Structure 1
Amino acid sequence: MNSRRRTFAPRQLAVYAMQFAIVGILVAGLLARNVSIVVNGVLALAVTFLPALVSHDWEVRPSPGVTLWITLAVFLHAVGMLGLYDHVWWYDHVTHTLSATIVAGVGYATARAIDRYTDAVYLPRRFMFVFIVTFTLAFGVFWEVLEFFVRLGADYFGAEAVLVQYGLEDTIMDLLFDTVGAILVGLFGTRTLSSVVDSIHYRIEELRAG
């Protein structure tokens, strides 16, 4: 009797390894009773399952490279909550840049799919680059405002802040590296996202036909 052995590609194995590591970080946060680590660990782990969720429920199929990209971004953030954000000066810049590429990728894929879906919307290539940067910065500003109010709320109630903001200079630097991430996607990431764009476009067509 022949048995079939399931094999995993290196990218898939890397995703599983990072998910396992995030679970370890989450457990460490629970043992230390650190609310910030626990909340960020739960959110990071949830995000790693989003590609599988949208593939199963919405039939939007990210490539293995995109799944690895998303998982790496949230994994590095979860690791940073262990103390790297406080003790390694450049770590926050790296995670902000990588997270910004995810936001930029979502904005690009959605806008490009809509552009292909209807003739009423036309987004020239040059404008698309501007759109990616603008969309990413808008989300970055929203996130910084959210961090500010979360910190105010935590201070008011005497609780531990799950999102940390270090002041105006830190906010400006975060937005700067958000811009860097958006530019990287605008210059080099659009081809990587082509499969996502195709999936969204086909899904819109199916919904329209149905």
Structure 2
Amino acid sequence: MSFHSPVHVSERREVQLVRFLQAAMVVILLIGLWQGNAGIVVNSGIGLLVTFLPAFFERNYRVTMNGGIVLWISVAMFLHAFGTLSVPALGFISPYKSTWWWDHMTHALSSSLVAGVAYAVTRALEEHTEYIVMPPRFMFVYLLLFVMAFGVIWELIEFYVGVVSSLVGVGKVLTQYGLDDTILDLFYNTIGGLLVATFGTAHLSDLSDQLRARMDSTNR
């Protein structure tokens, strides 16, 4: 994987940070397997796979994500996976259960990733075809609405996964803590989308240009 980042971090340091986070998630996955904890295994396993998506897209589709984006993805996935782990310093309780703001932080980070993907793909489509026009103000609103809609769908997924887990008698993979928590999740999802819509789009322009070039090449 090659890393080309606009942030003032060396290429070697970017690789080291990403690899460290991936190794940490492997450790969390092994702990989950050792404990027989389905929630830890599923969340860390999926998070680990997501961190390898940038390398997959570069190798198979020649779409290169810069180091800042790769770190963004890796940090979000690591914090989510770590949040499911029972930590001795917290009385063998997971950060999700012991730290009130952990769930909100991970929701904001995850929703910012969703907003980033939505922006990159939508901008690529806008540049690729004349039938889609997204003025900056409309794009801003679009990203917020997209993240809010995705957040609602995710909350429904969490609910039904919890129901199925209870029916089949396995540990909870995704957990809901009530209606108040759901409302707060949706609020922090919006915060994540707002941050991307306000500050993050400039850092995603290169990625969207690569996607547009890829779309153009498939039509030739």
Identify whether the pair has TM-score above 0.5, normalized to the shorter chain: yes
Shift of 1:157: 2.0
Measure the CA separation in 1 of the matches of 2:41 and 2:104.
22
Residue aligning to 2:156: 145
The Cα RMSD (Å) is: 1.1
Q: Which amino acid aligns with 1:33?
A: G
Q: How does 1:46-125 map onto structure 2 within 5 Å?
A: 46-82=49-85, 83-125=94-136
State, as a whole percentage, how many aligned pairs show the same letter.
44
Q: CA deviation at 1:158?
A: 2.0
Structure 1 distance, partners of 2:146, 2:12, is: 33
Unaligned 5+ residue runs, structure 2? 1-9, 86-93
Does residue 11 (structure 1) correspond to residue 14 (structure 2)? The answer is yes
TM-score w.r.t. the length of structure 2 is 0.90
CA deviation string 1:148-170 (max 9, x = no partner):
00111111222212011111111
| Equivalent residue in structure 2 for 1:159, among 166, 170, 181 | 170
CA displacement 1:31-62 (0-9 Å, x = unmatched): 11111101111101100000111111122211
What CA distance in whole angstroms lies between the structure 1 residues aligned with 2:13 and 2:104?
Answer: 27
Post-superposition offset of 1:9 = 1.9
Matched, 1:40 2:51: no
**Cα deviations across residues 182-206 of structure 1 (Å, max 9, x unaligned)?**
0000000001111110110110011
User: Structure 1 length normalisation: TM-score?
Assistant: 0.94
After TM superposition, the runs of 4+ consecutive aligned structure 1 residues lying more than 3 A away are: none
The one-letter amino acid of 1:47's match is V
Inter-partner Cα distance in structure 1 for 2:96 and 2:14: 26
Query: What is residue 3 of structure 1 aligned with on the other side?
Result: none
**Aligned pair 1:196/2:199, yes or no?**
no
Residue type of the alignment partner of 2:114: V
CA distance in 2: counterparts of 1:66 and 1:191, whole angstroms: 12
Structure 1 portions without partners, runs of 5+ = 1-6
Is 1:126 the counterpart of 2:137? The answer is yes
Q: Distance in 2 between matches of 1:24 and 1:159?
A: 22
Letter in 1 for 2:24: A
